[in-house]
């Protein structure tokens, strides 16, 4: 193992659920140090440690955060349980990579940012899509002006998920709803391409539990460009994304938020570029590598998704929820 920045930051995982399995697998694929896992269940922590060859399994979050061989904690708990573990980790001297959405609300995100800044530590949202190779190339194309004046962005994240009221996406007490789990992807993508919105209009459909099952959002951005974002937990759509410019359009293939391909096409049909991602694993290692680079450079914030942009996205999600009538326990 080399001493590159990626290989010197030692990872701990808090909350060994399904998304943590993908993250741990990709850390192993990339050869990144994964030294500990923490769960409220000793059996769960131990089983996860055995599966991914992790040296230490902790039977509490507190024990994980006290581990001197952990530099950064990946927080993979359900949305309502992001803020408090993140703050505890930061107060314990650990950097944090927090699974998206960053928190349940914008106010919670601000609280995490303030603690991170006060302790001189990195707090970064695990919007892993932004760090994938095809997204890096797309930002290069946009910066070069290849598409001309970008007028519109369109994206969906739609899946057919169980309607069982006990399922996490249907449980308000777990931050359920299509918006925070799925809709955050196209909304974050629109903000990445066009910047923060200046106006937001949303319509949604709520299920029997009060959690949203479908949401459609139209946003106007600073340049005057429009974006449309659609999420559903009841029906699977194309899961593609499109950036429309005056000189060319960029079409990202299914599944756009995972490693995939895209093409750039002019209005007369000429293909200017075709790109296909070829990587090992699911692709979650790239956000970990970026976090390690930021820390190695002595910084506490990144350029690809700064923490203030994560807060702005949470403010957008708060507004969408207000418009469609989704409220979480405690009036959130």
CA distance 186 to 190: 6
3 has pLDDT over 80: no
Q: What is the pLDDT of residue 330?
A: 85
Residue 2: which pLDDT band, with cuts at 50, 70 and 90?
Answer: very low
Tokens, residue 306: 């700064």
pLDDT at residue number 77: 97
Domain boundary assignment for the chain: 5-127+284-299, 133-276+313-324
CB 89 within 8 A of CB 116: no
Q: Round to whole Å and give the CA distance between 184 and 77.
A: 17
CATH architecture of 5-127+284-299: 3-Layer(aba) Sandwich (3.40)
Pick the CATH number of 133-276+313-324 from 3.90.650.10, 3.30.360.10, 3.40.50.460, 3.30.470.10: 3.30.360.10
Q: What is the pTM of this model?
A: 0.95
Residue-level pLDDT at 332: 84
The answer on pLDDT for 331 being more than 90 is no
**Mean pLDDT of the region 126-141:** 98
Spatial separation of the C-alpha atoms in residues 253 and 155, rounded to whole Å: 11
Contact (Cβ atoms closer than 8 angstroms) between residue 191 and residue 213: no
Structure-derived torsion over alpha carbons of residues 221, 175, 206, 256, reported in degrees to the nearest 10: 50
pLDDT above 60: residue 328 = yes
Q: Indicate the pLDDT class of residue 4, thresholds 50, 70 and 90.
A: low
Q: What is the pLDDT of residue 1?
A: 40
Count of CA atoms in the C-beta half-sphere (13 A) of 141: 26
Torsion of CA 198, 291, 92, 103, to 10 degrees: 30
Q: At what angle do helices 184-194 and 307-324 cross, to 10 degrees?
A: 130
Q: Residue 59: what are its φ and ψ, rounded to 5°?
A: -90, 10
């Amino acid at each position: 193992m080399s001493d590159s920045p990626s290989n010197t930051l030692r990872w701990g995982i808090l909350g060994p659920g399904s998304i943590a399995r993908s993250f741990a697998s990709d850390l192993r694929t990339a050869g990144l140090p994964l030294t500990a896992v923490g769960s409220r269940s000793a059996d769960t922590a131990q089983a996860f440690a055995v599966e991914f060859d992790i040296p230490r399994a902790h039977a509490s979050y507190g024990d994980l955060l006290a581990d001197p061989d952990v530099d950064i904690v990946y927080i993979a708990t359900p949305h309502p349980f992001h803020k408090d573990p993140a703050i505890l980790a930061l107060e314990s001297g650990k950097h944090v990579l927090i699974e998206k959405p960053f928190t349940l609300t914008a106010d919670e995100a601000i609280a995490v940012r303030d603690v991170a800044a006060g302790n001189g530590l990195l707090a970064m949202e695990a919007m892993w899509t932004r760090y994938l190779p095809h997204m890096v190339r797309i930002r290069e194309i946009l910066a070069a002006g290849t598409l001309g004046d970008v007028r519109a962005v369109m994206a969906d994240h739609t899946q057919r998920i169980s309607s069982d009221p006990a399922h996490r996406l249907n449980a308000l007490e777990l931050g359920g709803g299509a918006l925070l789990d799925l809709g955050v992807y196209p909304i974050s993508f629109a903000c990445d391409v066009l910047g923060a919105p200046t106006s937001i209009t949303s319509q949604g459909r709520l299920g029997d539990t009060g959690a949203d099952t479908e949401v459609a959002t139209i946003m106007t951005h600073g340049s005057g460009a429009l974006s449309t974002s659609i999420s559903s937990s009841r029906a699977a759509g194309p899961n593609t994304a499109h950036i429309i410019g005056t000189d060319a359009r960029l079409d990202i293939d299914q599944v756009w938020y995972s490693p995939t391909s895209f093409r750039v096409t002019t209005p007369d049909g000429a293909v200017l570029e075709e790109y296909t991602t070829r990587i090992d694993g699911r692709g979650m290692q790239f956000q970990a590598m970026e976090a390690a680079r930021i820390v190695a450079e002595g910084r506490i914030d990144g350029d690809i998704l700064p923490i203030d942009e994560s807060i702005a996205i949470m403010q957008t999600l708060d507004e969408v929820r207000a418009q469609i009538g989704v409220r979480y326990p405690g009036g959130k």
